Structure 1
Amino acid sequence: MTFTIRPAVRGKIGLLFGIAGASGSGKTFSALTLAEGIKGDGGKIAVIDTEAGRALHYAPKPGDKADPSKGTFDFLHLDFPAPFTPQRYIEAIQAAEQAGATVIVIDSMSHEWDGEGGCSDMAEQAAIAAATDRNGTFHAWKVESMTAPSWKKPKQAHKRMMARLIQTRTHLIFCLRAQEKIKFEKVVDEKTGKAKTEIRHLGFMPICEKSFMFELSGSMTMHPETPGEPRYDLPRKLNHELQAIFSAGERITFDKGIRLRHWAETGEDRPPVDHDAENARDLVEAIQDADQEKLQRITSNPKTIQFRKYLSENRTDLAERVDLAVQAALDGFSSEDDDGEIAA
């Protein structure tokens, strides 16, 4: 593999912006207000709604026109019921993009981690399955030992989702639920010298994978006491330029959305989409997820054979990734008999 080195030049990005908050903190309204400023002339907002249609509270009544100054917005609505798997979030975003959305609000992203069918649920179900024997008898004592390995697939699914989000060209705003966290600490009483347990309040923390908020372009957390305002005493990721846009104590406004779009779109154009790389990535993931029978079908499919031949002649770097994925899968099936052989 060769590396390309050139002078660093700022480039345009697709925004990944997170707004976390407890109920009543104004995160949905703030997200729509930002989206209204980001979309610009001719842009379109879409809302991916995991909250049973709650986003529709911000839509105009039949026959009325949207008026952001009065709390109503013009947007496409995508109802997103469970299961909230990482892959379905990607599919929902792709559907919104195909509908013409230029800025997408995902409300709520917390379900990907802590909702029905989300990563935590996937891990729990995997642990239960692993603790159930072939006769269908569940052994509760096995669950704890199965917890760590049960997280392998959910974490892989989350990583795949993040890789796709980072590559998106559409501006994305994520709303996340937040809950108040506490920590029990043992301290020594200065008067008696005896140990005692105290409760330390950590404030509102976003419900998501632990590094999610910090992998975004920017993020903030709001508090019900100061709805619509970024709180600098709560988890956030705002560089000096974003801090100039989102000052502590100032409510989110349409103008801040315009400034955020300008920040994201300042720089040279991004290179065109590498469709070969995207297709190779999809093939590698299909190979990684396949059982032996499915892998046989994938590798013997004429389209797959033709695509791998094209890669070997034109994109050797991608061809190598596919070859390695196939070999890794074959190694995993090494216990199979010769009748189940799969051609690499």
Structure 2
Amino acid sequence: MSNNTFTLRKAERKKAKIRLGLSAVAGGGKTMSALLIAFGITADWSKIGVIDTENQSADLYCHLGDYQVLSLSSPYSPERYIQAIRACEEAGMEVIIIDSITHEWDGKGGCLEIVDSLGGKFADWAKVTPRHQAFLDAILQSKCHVITTVRRKQEYEVIKDGNKTKVEKAGTKEITREGFEYELTVNLELDQRHNATASKDRTGLFMGKPAFVPDASTGRMIYEWCESGATPTPVQLPAISDEQFFKAKQRLGTGEIDVYEKIIAAFTLTSSQLNELDDLLKTQKEKQNGSK
């Protein structure tokens, strides 16, 4: 009689929740990209919750839609991040944006500071690593889609050239614990022009593809992958015509705010076109708020 209790089964990909990482240096468009992708996933701004550790930077984009913001101040301990994630889940959010996770690692009250407060010895990591892992588990086990942003910093290396020594740039590095991106489904790196390239991709949607500017269509592609159980064919939205763009601006200019969501959900827009619509939407919301 066999004592083997292991059972083999056919591999099958089931529906999933995305774990998406966005990293960039300052000005790379992490927050804006995260919001547009989140809207593409949910098609409902009110179901997007932003955990904001960046001095209320998430509020700068409130003209996009009525998403929810949870401001998280120091101390940036793993436990406080976990509480914030739980609060978003309990509030019924469908997508949680953590902007950013850098503070959990290298912020006031974050993991590095906690280790220093314990004495800064290697043995002290035995106490802090489980706390950091609990933070990762809260992300990975969340019932919501989760988008994380992380700061990148310029790395340098010292090179000897004969009798001279010079310092050269050696690329950028994410400011979080090494290996974080391996926990994610997709990790996208943004440059100063907001172009994204994949450094990690389990979906097959982005790896090896040309750089692109993330928008709502990126979120829709991700949503389809999560829901279908199979890799979908990437959806390319049609470019908006000059006439359609002109009419959209006219309608926004007369106070039809809902036109914004309809346009970005239906067409591919250039950065300049998106900026024009953003400005118009912001102006109209300021007018409406001023008249209340």
Per-residue deviation, residues 292-338 of structure 1 (Å, max 9, x unmatched): xxxxxxxxxxxxxxxxxxxxxxxxxxxxxxxxxxxxxxxxxxxxxxx
Q: Which has the higher strand share?
A: 2
Query: Partner of 2:170: helix, strand, or coil?
Result: strand
Whole-Å Cα distance in 1 between the matches of residues 211 and 206 of structure 2?
Answer: 11
Q: 2:124 aligns with which of 150, 155, 159?
A: 150
Whole-Å Cα distance in 1 between the matches of residues 68 and 226 of structure 2?
Answer: 23
- 1:185 shift after superposition: 3.6
- 1:239 shift after superposition: 4.4
Give every structure 1 segment of 4 or more consecutive aligned residues whose post-TM-superposition deviation is greater than 6 Å: none
Query: Partner of 1:242: helix, strand, or coil?
Result: coil
CA contact (8 A) 2:23 2:189 kept: yes
Q: 1:219 aligns with which of 151, 169, 187?
A: 187
TM-score (norm 1): 0.61
Tell me which residue corresponds to 2:274: none
| In the alignment, structure 1 residue 177 sits paired with structure 2 residue 151 | yes
Amino acid at match of 1:160: A
Whole-Å Cα distance in 2 between the matches of residues 93 and 205 of structure 1?
Answer: 25
Whole-Å Cα distance in 2 between the matches of residues 3 and 73 of structure 1?
Answer: 50
Tell me which residue corresponds to 1:267: 229
| In the alignment, structure 1 residue 230 sits paired with structure 2 residue 196 | yes
Name the count of aligned residue pairs.
227
- 1:257 shift after superposition: 0.6
After the TM superposition, which residues 133-212 of structure 1 pair with which residues of structure 2 at under 5 Å, given as runs?
146-186=120-160, 189=162, 196-212=164-180
Tell me which residue corresponds to 1:305: none
Change (3 A) 1:248 1:73: farther
Per-residue deviation, residues 260-318 of structure 1 (Å, max 9, x unmatched): 111122229xxxxxxxxxxxxxxxxxxxxxxxxxxxxxxxxxxxxxxxxxxxxxxxxxx
CA contact (8 A) 2:182 2:200 kept: yes
Change (3 A) 1:24 1:218: same
Amino acid at match of 2:86: Q
Amino acid at match of 1:12: K
Amino acid at match of 1:213: E
Change (3 A) 1:242 1:211: same
Change (3 A) 1:115 1:4: farther
Query: Partner of 1:88: helix, strand, or coil?
Result: helix
Whole-Å Cα distance in 1 between the matches of residues 196 and 221 of structure 2?
Answer: 16
| In the alignment, structure 1 residue 5 sits paired with structure 2 residue 8 | yes
CA contact (8 A) 2:111 2:128 kept: yes
Whole-Å Cα distance in 1 between the matches of residues 203 and 90 of structure 2?
Answer: 34
Tell me which residue corresponds to 1:69: none
Whole-Å Cα distance in 1 between the matches of residues 205 and 21 of structure 2?
Answer: 13
Change (3 A) 1:240 1:18: closer
Tell me which residue corresponds to 1:118: 110
After the TM superposition, which residues 24-173 of structure 1 pair with which residues of structure 2 at under 5 Å, given as runs?
24-40=27-43, 44-60=47-63, 72-127=64-119, 146-173=120-147
RMSD: 2.2
- 1:29 shift after superposition: 0.3
Per-residue deviation, residues 221-276 of structure 1 (Å, max 9, x unmatched): 1122x2x21146xxx212471316x94332111111100111122229xxxxxxxx
After the TM superposition, which residues 288-299 of structure 1 pair with which residues of structure 2 at under 5 Å, given as runs?
none
Whole-Å Cα distance in 1 between the matches of residues 122 and 8 of structure 2?
Answer: 40
Amino acid at match of 1:167: Q
- 1:43 shift after superposition: 6.9
Tell me which residue corresponds to 2:240: none
Whole-Å Cα distance in 1 between the matches of residues 210 and 78 of structure 2?
Answer: 32
Query: Partner of 1:10: helix, strand, or coil?
Result: coil
Whole-Å Cα distance in 2 between the matches of residues 164 and 4 of structure 1?
Answer: 29
Whole-Å Cα distance in 1 between the matches of residues 70 and 222 of structure 2?
Answer: 24
- 1:42 shift after superposition: 8.8
TM-score (norm 2): 0.72
